[in-house]
Structure 1
Amino acid sequence: MKSLTNRHIDFMGRRQWALTLSGIMLLVSIGAMIIQQLNLGLDFTGGTLVEVRYANAPSLDTVRQVLEQNGFQDIAVQTFGATTDVLIRLKQAFDAEVGHNIVALLRDSGASVDLVRAEFVGAQVGDQLRDQSGLGMLVALGVVMLYVAFRFQYKFAIGALLALVHDVIIVIGLFALFGLEFDLTVLAAILAVIGYSLNDTIVVYDRIRETIRTSQITDMGKIINESINATLSRTLATSSTTLLVLLALLFLGGDMIENFAIALLIGIVVGTFSSIYISGALLIPLKLGREDLIPPQKPRDEEEEELP
């Protein structure tokens, strides 16, 4: 193990700055969620679904442009099963003629298309999805806390849970702040962020535990610094390669996964920051010590008294 006298980045020396920055981001995120609220997608609010069938596979961008040019807003277009079947989602009240109107517009643009179905997705479905998704996120965080508590120690579990809640609130808050549509794909991205951030945090915590057990250092700040520096190259390499993939998804993946990619991009950046600064820094106010991982040895006279 490298000596602590070697030159390292003093992460814990900057922890007050990092915690202040996190506090500001949390306040802004919570304020945006309360004041502006989330721009919930069709999955949560209800709306109209229109399925059409083309003679030949269409360009989804062309379908979207035709509808937007004719006054339809907040629409989502995707293939449904075969490449010739297109599902159009509209965040508006159901109209019995909406399906025929859309088909007429698409035919006027020169496409050979037929209406398959047009139906309304009620808000009750949206309420159920919202409640179930919220419950699923709480269950995921609870399982994470139990896992870390059993594998490490309960103070690690509290630190990991707070870091994950920090990441989730900021991602959701930025979606509320900028008015980005929040749908099931974004929810899936947030669950992925929880897994990603937890993985990074576990790597750092594992090194902290190893350093506590194999060194005679008592300064917890130095132990955490040593552990973060030892895992920093791995953390940054993983984050960088993941960001490259997400940038490709953002610019080349199309509108259907745009918000999914944005949520993951924000989550990876915030999760990397919390893995380096927040999760480790939280162990200091939680008063993690060597005795939490290494039981104190009994004096020799007590051991002799226990012998038969």
Structure 2
Amino acid sequence: MRLRLVPDDTKIDFFGRWKLWFGISLVLIVLSFISFGVRGLNYGIDFRGGTTIRTESTQEMDVGAYRDALSGLGLGDVLISEVFDPSFRADQHVAMIRIQAQDDEEAVTSELIQQVEEALKTVAPDIKFVSVESVGPKVSGELIWTAVQAVALAIGAVLIYVWLRFEWQFAVGAVVALIHDVVLTIGIFSELQIKFDLAIIAALLTIVGYSLNDTVVVFDRVRENLRKFKKTPLKEVLNLSINETLSRTTMTSLTTLLALIALIVLGGDVIRGFVFAMIWGIVVGTYSSIFIASPVLLFLGVKRDWSKPDNNAGNQFANIDA
């Protein structure tokens, strides 16, 4: 007996109020831009610059104890992680401590480094600072630009892939949905001032892939149904296709959310921002696949008969399987 969260014969009218959903998304996108312009993003060490300290001790490392020892120094954003390597000795415990730039200075001062060392010696008396490295604002600015390029290239690759796989109308719908997801994700991080670092960029790229997968499943069913129902209005074909894939979409989203909810509850502060971005991305990605990508396709229209050549349809590669 199979579990069914959505009945097989659902007939939900997703396009009855598609202009309303489009309007809500447009308002949210405008608010995201306003929030980004007014409040900006709460950049982490990766984008703001700071100092990285590599420590070594024979005493087993306790991240919580290290963090408590440094909490009274007023260092701001501090990331602590243990480093593992097969070549380490059994009593060699290495930690990486990253401290944000203080008062817009490029590096943490030597006096502050001394205070950090003294504080950590209360936890691990034999601790040694193996290396101290600083990342300045210039490098951080380059990381921001590289991150923007990574997201833009990912969306561009999606445009080309969907264009080759389907038609240009499908590609436009998919890319509009992806831009919608990325903008809303950046907007919620700006509004809530959640720390934005390279882990969030990784989450954005993952969201792009997840949302694309959801959209392509719907579009693949749309193309099948367009071939079967050549006389049925495009709006009805889109509704039918979304209803037919709704069970798969719901199951995939819910099972992924269950794992992410477990991570956000049990995973700790280090990955909380990444997991939040993933949860938000799954919600808006599922929404955009239905209420953004498909209405764009409805607005642009699409060729109905693939058996007849049409040089203007941009469909010369429609039968390519990827």
- What is the aligned partner in structure 1 of residue 138 from structure 2? 124
Aligned pairs for 1:126-165 (under 5 A) are 126-165=140-179
Q: What do residues 179-228 of structure 1 show as CA deviations (whole Å, max 9, x unaligned)?
A: 11111100000000000000000000000000000113431111100000
2:308 corresponds to: 295
Q: 2:197 maps to which residue? A: 183
What's the secondary structure of 1:23's corresponding residue?
helix
1:58 and 2:61 matched: yes
Kindly indicate whether residue 27 of structure 2 is the aligned counterpart of residue 18 of structure 1: no
**Partner Cα separation in structure 1 for residue 33 and residue 59 of structure 2:** 47
1:289 deviation in Å?
Answer: 4.3
Contact in 2 for aligned 1:99/1:115 (Cα 8 Å):
no
Matches within 5 A, 1:181-260: 181-260=195-274
Given the alignment, which residue of 44, 47, 54 partners 1:44? 47
Structure 1: stretches of 5+ with no match in the other structure: 1-5, 298-308
User: 1:52·1:103 contact (CA, 8 Å) conserved in 2?
Assistant: no
| Cα distance in 1 for residues equivalent to 2:10 and 2:159 | 34
> For residues 45-124 of structure 1, what are the structure 2 equivalents within 5 Å?
45-82=48-85, 84-92=93-101, 93=105, 94-109=108-123, 111-124=125-138
Q: Is the 8 A contact 1:218 1:290 kept in 2?
A: no
Report SS of the residue matched to 1:290: coil
Runs of 4+, deviation exceeding 6 Å: none
Identity of aligned residues (%): 37
1:52-108 CA distances to partner (integer Å, 9 max, x unpaired)? 123223221221122123322111111123582111111123212333211211222
For 1:208 and 1:285, locate their aligned partners in 2 and report how far apart those are by CA, in whole Å.
Answer: 15
In structure 2, what is the Cα distance between the partners aligned to 1:199 and 1:163?
A: 12
Q: Distance in 2 between matches of 1:294 and 1:65?
A: 69
TM-score (norm 1): 0.89
Q: What amino acid sits opposite 1:14 in the alignment?
A: R
Q: Match of 2:186? A: 172
Contact 2:230 2:304 in 1 (8 A): no
CA RMSD of aligned residues (A): 1.8
Aligned residues: 291
Question: Aligned to 1:89, what secondary structure does the other structure show?
Answer: strand
CA contact (8 A) 1:213 1:294 kept: no
Larger relative helix fraction = 1
Partner residue in 2 for 1:3: none
Relative to 1, partners in 2 of residues 1:55 and 1:146: Cα closer, same or farther, differing over 3 Å? same
Q: Secondary structure at the match of 2:301?
A: coil
Do the aligned residues in 2 keep the contact of 1:197 with 1:271 (CA within 8 Å)?
yes
Q: 1:30 aligns with which of 29, 33, 36?
A: 33
Task: Give the match's secondary structure for 2:16.
Answer: helix
TM-score for the superposition, normalised by structure 2 = 0.85
Is the 8 Å Cα contact of residues 39 and 181 (structure 1) preserved in structure 2? yes
